[in-house]
Amino acid sequence: MSAATRITVSAEHTYDVVVGRGLLGELPALVGPDARRVLVLYPRALDATAEVVRVELAEAGYEAYAAEVPDAEEAKTAQVAAFCWGVLGQAGFTRTDVVVGLGGGATTDLAGFVAATWLRGVRVVQLPTTLLAMVDAAVGGKTGINTAEGKNLVGAFHSPAGVLADLDTLATLPRHDLVAGLAEVVKCGFIADPRILELIEADPSAAMDPASDVLRELIERAIAVKARVVSADLREASLREILNYGHTLGHAIEHAERYQWRHGAAVSVGMVFAAELARLASGLSDDVVARHRAILTSLGLPVTYRGDRWGQLLDAMRRDKKTRGDLLRFVVLSDVGAPTRLEGPDPALLAAAYAEISRDVTPGSNRVEL
Ligand SMILES: NC(=O)c1ccc[n+]([C@@H]2O[C@H](COP(=O)([O-])OP(=O)(O)OC[C@H]3O[C@@H](n4cnc5c(N)ncnc54)[C@H](O)[C@@H]3O)[C@@H](O)[C@H]2O)c1
Ligand SMILES: O=C(O)C(=O)C[C@@H](O)[C@H](O)[C@H](O)COP(=O)(O)O
Ligand SMILES: [Zn+2]
């Protein structure tokens, strides 16, 4: 078995993202000696693992609790956060106690938010169990929930005490969820690490194989990109916006689909839109735009969206966090590995870029794509 890899993030404090197998034994050390109580938040798919984690913590001497939260995006609501605050209150959690997020990005976003808000901030340890959560959601301290108006509109920056990305957990992850996670890996390739793109182009099947060395290298490279960016700009004053590549339209699609599309699938379409926008607005080469479509399609990710939703999507994009006043702002590329910003693009350009990715709405076309 190969040794674990440690990727360090230096943000509010310094912590490691550990990538490897059989990492559970490291959890008590991350929870730390000051805690007496620990609450593990998890979705139903992880109930057996949550019990193993709870027992491990109890055997290490903690008062260990586990609470199931709703699956996927259903977890990211004010009601679910309030339920978690109730559990913490009733168990008497103090400022030295700890929350653990066990699951995909929805669970780790919720757990981080609950930890950020309980007593104005307690320690959180993240145990990501999806590819997406390992490479992105559990790393970097963005936590949050959705509101009726949009995605991640309420949240806080709250860095974890540590992240244990146990590759063994990917064995049970449904293929569509693994593929959705690859969209964020591809994002890291386009904004910062072209080697990621080459690895996927060379062998897309290996990239989708949870047991492959190729996927492990992709995971480590994507985490390294995120760690570098977050270490330089935790609060998204500027540089961190590049991690939002593809998300302006992506989040709008998720909202329009009432979160029945996976985040990574929506971001996939959003990246092709951003590439088309950059081609029209600032001359991104046809080759780089085509490379977006080729790589994402090779992984089975969607690259088009329904043509009749433009008005609704534009409306949702106005609530994106990168918007300033009435000025829509997009992360775009001037080349692979060279992200920049496009501010207040001409509405006609936006519509033209959308026309390049939109498809006819025929009966049945509103199905869930991934
Ligand atoms: N905070 C950030 O920086 C950040 C970054 C990227 C994405 N996100 C957020 O992450 C969320 C998407 O995360 P996701 O793609 O992990 O989705 P998810 O959390 O909804 O998980 C996907 C599905 O996989 C199941 N699952 C999780 N682990 C499993 C396992 N090991 N075996 C079997 N089933 C498993 C879950 O129960 C769920 O049904 C979105 O809400 C997105 O906004 C946050
Ligand atoms: O970490 C970041 O910064 C990102 O933008 C990573 C994204 O992949 C992620 O989906 C994030 O939650 C989006 O943040 P938001 O600020 O647009 O809500
Ligand atoms: Zn994302």
Residue-number span of the structural domain to which 164 is assigned: 5-172
Considering the domain architecture, whether residues 254 and 150 belong to the same structural domain is answered as: no
**Backbone dihedral angles phi then psi of residue 47, each to the nearest 5 degrees:** -65, -35
Flag whether 157 is in a domain: yes
120 plus 187 within the same structural domain: no
Q: Is residue 366 part of a domain?
A: no
**Residue range 222-254, pLDDT digits in tens:** 999 999 999 999 999 999 999 999 999 999 999
Residues 51 and 94 in one domain: yes
100 and 209, same domain (yes or no): no
Residue of 147, 83, 138 whose CA lies nearest to 114: 83
Nearest by Cα to 84 from 127, 44, 40: 40
Interface confidence: ipTM more than 0.95: yes
Identify the CA nearest to 278 among candidates 315, 330, 235: 330
Q: Judge contact between 55 and 47, C-beta under 8 A.
A: no
Residue 292, pLDDT > 90, answer yes
Give the contacts of 196 (CB within 8 A, at least 6 positions apart): 185, 186, 188, 189, 218, 221, 222
User: Is it the case that residue 216 has pLDDT exceeding 80?
Assistant: yes
Residue 369: inside a domain: no
What CATH number should be reported for the domain holding residue 227? Answer: 1.20.1090.10
* C-alpha to C-alpha distance for 118 and 38, rounded to whole angstroms: 13
Does some domain include residue 365?
no
CA proximity to 307, closest of 258, 353, 248, 251: 353
pLDDT tens string 39-74: 999 999 999 999 999 999 999 999 999 999 999 999
Q: Cα dist. 227→30, 80, 345 in Å?
A: 19, 29, 30
Domain end, chosen from 130, 147, 172, is at 172
Residues 118, 181, single domain; the answer is no
Among 147, 172, 197, give the residue marking a domain's end: 172
The verdict on residue 368 lying in a domain is: no
The domain tally of the chain equals 2
Domain boundary among 108, 140, 172: 172
Strands 37-42 and 162-166: unpaired
Lookup result for tokens 């509103």: 366
Q: Are 269 and 311 in the same domain?
A: yes
pLDDT of residue 368: 46
Residue 187 assigned to a binding site: no
Query: Does residue 155 have its Cβ closer than 6 Å to ligand 1?
Result: no
> What's the average model confidence in pLDDT over 24-52?
97
CA distance 294 to 117: 42
Q: Please check whether residue 129 lies inside any domain of the structure.
A: yes
Nearest protein Cα to ligand 1, atom 33: 173
pTM of the model: 0.97
Ligand nearest to the CA of 159: 1
Atom 35, ligand 1: which residue's CA is nearest? 173
User: Which of the 8 DSSP states describes residue 95?
Assistant: T
Please compute the mean of the pLDDT values over residues 315-325 and round it to a whole number.
Answer: 95
Residues 226 and 138 in one domain: no
Q: Which residues are catalytic?
A: 120, 142, 184, 226, 236, 240, 244, 247, 251, 263
Q: What is the pLDDT of residues 118-131, one digit of tens each?
A: 999 999 999 999 99
Residues 99 and 225 in one domain: no
What tokens were used for 264? 């990574």
